[in-house]
Chains A and B, each alone.
Chain A
Amino acid sequence: MSAVAANVESAPTVDHPVLAVRGATKRFGSVVALDDVSIEVRRGEILGLLGDNGAGKSTLTKCISGVHQLDAGAIFLDGAPTQIRSPADARFAGIETVYQDLALFDNLTPGQNFFAGRELAWPRWLPRGMRFLQQRRMDAETRILLANLKVTLPRLDAVVAMMSGGQRQAIAVARSTVFARKVVILDEPTAALGLRESRQVLNLVATLRDQGNAVILITHNMEHVTELADRAVVLRQGRKVGELVPTKDNKQELVSMIVGA
Chain B
Amino acid sequence: MPETRGTGTTVGDAAMSAPKKQEAVPGLALGLALLSAGPVVILVLLIVVLSFLSPYLLTGRNLSNILAQTAVISVVAMGQHLVILTRGIDLSVGSNVALASVVGALSFHAGAPASVVIAVMVGCGAAVGTINGLFYVFGRLPHPFIITLATLSIAKGLALQLADGRAIPGMPDAIDALGREAVWGLPGSVFVVAGVAAVLFVMAKTMVWGRWIYAVGGRPDAALRMGIPVSWVLVSVYVISGLCAGIGAVILAGRTDAGSPLFGNLLELDTIAAVIIGGASFLGGRGHLGHALIGAIMIGVIRNALNLLNVNVFFQLIVIGVVIVIAVESDVLRNYLEGRMRVLQAGRQS
Chain A residues in the interface with B (C-beta under 8 A):
67, 86-88, 91-92, 97, 99, 103-108, 112, 116-119, 121, 128-133, 136, 139-140, 143, 146-147, 150-157, 161-167, 170, 194-197, 200
Contact = CB atoms under 8 A, between A and B. Distances in A.
B8 A156 contact: yes
A129 B346 contact: no
A87 B5 contact: no
Interface string B194-223: 000000000000111111101101110111
B27 interface: no
B226 A129 contact: no
A202 B198 CA distance: 46
29 contacts: A67-B225, A86-B227, A87-B225, A87-B227, A99-B225, A105-B218, A105-B222, A106-B285, A116-B226, A116-B228, A117-B215, A117-B228, A118-B227, A119-B208, A129-B209, A129-B212, A130-B207, A131-B208, A133-B206, A133-B208, A133-B211, A140-B2, A143-B9, A151-B14, A152-B9, A154-B16, A154-B22, A157-B1, A194-B350
Given A112-B214, A146-B11, A154-B22, 7 more contacts: A67-B225, A129-B236, A152-B10, A152-B16, A156-B6, A164-B345, A166-B346
Nearest to B347: A164
B237 to A, nearest CB: 12
B21 interface: yes
Contacts of B225: 67, 87, 97, 99, 103
Given A118-B227, A133-B206, A150 B345 contact: no
A153 B8 contact: yes
B221 A197 contact: no
A195 B7 CA distance: 26
A117 to B, nearest CB: 3
A117 B227 contact: yes
Interface string B1-35: 11011111111111111100110000000000000
A119 B229 CA distance: 13
Interface in B312-350: 338, 341-342, 345-346, 349-350
Contacts of B10: 152
A91 B16 contact: no
Given A129-B207, A200-B14, A165 B218 contact: no
Contacts of A88: 227
Q: Which 3 A-B pairs have the closest CB atoms?
A: A150-B12, A117-B226, A88-B227
Contact of A105 (B4, B5, B16, B215): B215
Contact of B226 (A103, A133, A196): A103
A87 to B, nearest CB: 4
A153 B206 contact: no
A151 B349 CA distance: 14
Contact of A133 (B17, B207, B221, B338): B207
Contacts of A196: 15, 349-350
A197 B9 contact: no
A147 to B, nearest CB: 5
Contacts of B12: 150, 152
B23 to A, nearest CB: 11
A153 B229 CA distance: 30
Given A129-B209, A136-B1, A154-B8, A103 B345 contact: no
Nearest to B349: A164
B224 A161 contact: no
Contacts of B286: 107
Contacts of A147: 9, 11
B233 interface: yes
Contacts of B18: 152, 154-155
A50 to B, nearest CB: 24
B346 A164 contact: yes
Contacts of A121: 207-208
Contacts of B228: 116-117
Contact of A91 (B5, B210, B223, B227): B227
Contacts of B191: none
A161 to B, nearest CB: 6
Contact of B207 (A112, A131, A153, A200): A131
A119 B211 contact: yes
